[in-house]
Structure 1
Amino acid sequence: MHHQPRPQSVDGPEGEPLPSGARGLAVAALSLVLLTLVSYFFDTRGGRPTLFLLYPAAVLLAAWYGGLRAGLVTTALAALLGQYFLVTPRFDWGGDRSQLAVFLVEAVTITVVTARVARSRQRTVARLREGRAALDKLHAVLDGVDDGIVVQDVAGRALYANEGAAQILGYPSVDALLRAQGAEGAQRFEVFDERRQALPPEEMPGRNALRTRVAIERELLFRVPATGEEHWTVVRSKPLYDAKGKPDSVITLLRDVTQRRRDEVRGGFIARAAQELGSSIDYAETLARVVKLAVPDIADWAAVDLVEDGRVVRLAIAHVDPAKIALLEELDRRYPSRPGTPGGARNVIRTGQSEMVSDIPVAAVEAAASDPEHQKLLRALGLRSYLSVPLSVRGATIGALSFATAESQRRYGPEDLALATALAERAVVAIEHARLYRENERALAEAERANRSKDEFLAMLGHELRNPLAPILTAVALMKMRGGPSKEIAVVERQVKHVVRLVDDLLDVSRITRGKVELKLERLDLAEVTTRAVEMAMPLIEQRAHHLDVDVPAGLMVRGDAVRLAQVVANLLNNAAKYMEKGGRIGVRASRSGASIELRVRDEGIGIAPEMLPRVFEMFTQETQALDRAQGGLGLGLAIVKSLVALHGGEVSVRSEGVGAGSEFCVRLPGLEGEVTAPTSLPDGGLGGRTSSPVRVMVVDDNDDAADLLADVLATMGHDVSKAHDGPGALSLAAERRPQLALLDIGLPVMDGYELGRRLRAIEGLGGIKLVAVTGYGQDSDRRRSEEAGFDAHLVKPIELDALSALVSRLTR
């Protein structure tokens, strides 16, 4: 037990038992004998003494050691002994009785008083013993608790302390703590507040409690500079008062919460680091933020090194003292780590093994220096403890995460190594995700570039294919106008139109996959849409001598794009016509089903194998049992159907009983309620007659054949036609011929069609000329650009001559 020296008991050595009544009588009897002998001696030698003079002493001893009864018994015995030995004749009760009476009064008085005093003493001693035993138990309990307890007087001197207090405050023993004065205590340990700021002595909880007379509680850090040992401690101080109510001391409880604090700091750090690591795909910036988070709770300085292009690069570094970062950078610059050097981040990266030095010896630091200046820099860093863990991905070490302590004098242990390892694992995941993301981004960018290249290629392919197709179709039309139909002309026309459809399908797929299809939504009657689709598919149906049965009642209203929905139905009809032997039957039915409109296209063709049903709407998919590969196409028609139907908020499905059993496609679209709109009349036009109002038309195309044939067709229609093959020639021709309408190829040499159009309208008197773009580029963006350039219409090669005739009439009306 550790406390001030204890006072000894008044009745002898500690633990000596108090006398009983019997012992008191024994002491009294012995005293009586001795006193009687003394009295008898004096009686025979020196005359008769005063009777009973010495007997009160025996009574006193008997009453003190034996109590009231022993004192009274002794009094009686003393009277008898005196009468026997000191009175002559013996037992003469009739002589002078005054001395006996006085003795009896004195003896009884002494007995009563002494017995009471002795009894009170015995009770006091018993209480003292009980108190001492309780105090001993209390000291044993206090020494056994983990919390520290210190009692100090108003001057700050320690009056009491237990083992826990000595350990927390960095003293080797309790006695050393009790002997320590204030100045010695200040040298023994340092105190910091919750933010690791030095705490002034006057702000200590004990002094505050004495000053304010209220209990004070704070969480403080006690650091022992000699060992670097740290204890986070909850300190609770409460004043103690004297009998007058004045504070005369203070009791302080010290609870070590170091482990809890470390767990909280580590857990909070890991949580914040994980949040930072998951918040960005820029792992370099993220790791730099994580390194800063580690200071000062985890380390005085932290760094991360990564292997980039075969070199170890210090990605980020942080220090509790920003001024020291320049010192670290200077050290790395002037004394870079050499490959193969034992220890350090490079060694961790090379070996893939963690390193930890709990206590860096000064001798080791000096031995690592290559010259006195290097040694000076290393000493300035003042490294105390160090650990470094590898950053490994799939067995390959890509970097190292390093922590060190210096100013704080903390020492790293296994828990710190486990924390660093856990952080490294999370950092590796973040780095890997970031790298995968970057790779995906690069792959996506490459795919987008490839996709753009594909789109540009398809657009160019369409343009280049349409350019030669345009004059071919125009020539066929002229031959039909001049010489009448023939089998050979029909074959050429049919095959060219097939090539045109293939080009259109390719461009449609490109637009759909890029989400570039713009729908012009309006209220439509499905019967009208079906009529347009039948007109589009009829050439192939007639060619293969199929029978078409259409049952689409008027009044089935949908909201959609008339051109695109007609394309959907036409593709289904073409698909049925291609994959069925000649003379087959195709059925088209439509009806309302709840809130939807269903259109079904049924054929008696080759059917679809069960394993092909899930893939029938994929691009470039065709049934291998196709009867006629000449009409097989590219396998894009049904993919276009599915995409266009989905854009209208509908769905398409297919059903087939198997190979040879035919197939049925069902398009389901959201239905509308209401009256039927009036049918839209298609413009009449033919190549067989002349227009009623001839106009001056200029054709500009760098393809001589295309320009010549288109000019011939327009002339056959009755128009006054002039032609040019480039921009400068067109400007000269326009100034001379004053055309009312110009058909301009966009891809002209010298200057493109857009520039030519602007310059034509700049010619005096031609400000109102109608401009028509004639080009192989037919995507929506191309049409928008023509419109923005001021063109009145946009025609895609090869030109439908009926549409051309109607357009000329409309623009020059």
Structure 2
Amino acid sequence: MDDDILELIPDEVTEPAERAGTWTVAVIDDDPAVHEGTRYALAGYTLDGRSLDILSAYSAAEARALLSQRRDVAVLLLDVVMESDDAGLQLIDFVRRELRDETVRIILRTGQPGQAPERRVIVDYDINDYKAKTELTADKLFTSLTAALRAYHQLKRLDETRRGLEIIIDAAPMLLDHKSMQRLAEGMLTQVASLLNVDCAGILVLRENDETDERFCVLTGSGVYHHYVARHPAWPLDPDVHPIVERTFTERRHSFGERASTLYMRTSSGSEIVALIDADRSLSDTDRALIDLFTSRLSIAFDNVILYEQLQRANIGLEQRVVERTAELIRANRRLAMQRSDLRRANGLKTEILGTVAHDLKNPLSVILGRTEMLADMTGMSPVPVEQMRVQTDHVRTSAKRLTAMIDSLMADAMNDALDISLRREPVDLAGLAREVCEANRPLADTKGQSLSADLPEEVWLCGDAERLREAIDNLISNAIKYSFTGGAIRVEVRREAQETLCAVSDQGPGLSPEDAGRVFGRFQRLSAKPTGGEGSTGLGLSIVKRIAELHGGRATAESAGPGEGATFAIRFPNIAVELV
């Protein structure tokens, strides 16, 4: 008998912790016949498609060791009197208090009811049924065991639900705190494994809210899918994974298999997430209900991350726009500062030109006023001094011409600076213009005893504005007359060179110092040389010449061997202007 007991215990204890499709029942009794009878009575027993896995222990001490190792026992068929009169009752306390197992169902069987009265035992000990061995027939054993197993199954589901809800509640704040999509995905896989209480591998795939785009973004992977972590998010899915994920996106619902399950989530922002989970067991109804609840809460967490990432991108874009706008404002401020500086200079130039104009206009006006007063006095003389009056009249006429010339120069400069200035392009005979201007200025040269000669070909044509070119040539010749000494020679020349066509005016005047040569064409420039006949100067003539030359695509030049050596002023036009004629 003892040998039989020793053979049974090792075989039962060393069985796997849980066999799929079985109910684990432990028979704890010191009578081997009870074990054999129980096995015989329950032979072929099944409930919900699951058979029995019956374990045996022949003392309370053996039962303690067995129950400490096997935590999957659903029902205990427990004897009261074994190595002591209350060994079974003490074992009940061990299970409930030390092992803290409240789901296992305990059916107390005793052959000596007097030692453990039913009412006292039911009240004092957490058991689920009390039977005398004499009344526990095969049918009653079947009934009691079935009721106990159903109660155990319901309690296990409640316990799993409670544990799952605790995990979901505990996980919610942590998942909502994630600000990275990848970290949230990793946290979800970890929580799913904890929720199911199994080792599982998984992969999370995101599809943005564009249903026409079949490209998937892998957020994370674990277990056999861990290699996706090192890949680029847009890397294609493996051939064995892609159809499963694509089907779930199409069906838009969870799918549970024997080992692999796919979970579908859709966020309020329109993004879709599929999780492929490989577990080491099939998922129970409780597992599926918990998964459904868990994923419904996860959509909020994913939405939070999506919105956070969108906000981050918006912030980056806003910061970039702020930087760009700040740079634009800095550039605008610089432009304003430059314009303010230009305005200051313009205001200074305005003051200068007003002073210059006032000074230059005052002199001839004073002459005119003085001469007219003398004429008025002469008209009262008898006889009237006609010759003297003619002289005074000539002085008035000369001063009036100077005023007219100065006003014409100011008006020309004002028009030249207008923003809408335009040239009238037409064929122009430059040599003919120079000839006309020479003849118009010859009386002024004769007045100062100067010789004005012209070396002009018959015709030199170019495309330009005849009036503006006439104005430029007139300024060059009148300048030469104004600054040349009495009796000096002035020469006007028009010629065509290899690259340019030019009109040059040479004089024997005071020439140009190096300082004057650098600013001779500037506006309102007063050079060291002074008009030799007391003429006025606005400092605008040569700047007008330069502007007219540039408007025609050409340039103005000044050459001088030095002070006292005379100078040559010219306007030069590229021969392309000539070819356009």
Q: Same fold (TM over 0.5)?
A: no
| TM-score normalised according to structure 1 size | 0.33
Higher RCO (CA-CA < 8 Å; seq separation 6+):
2
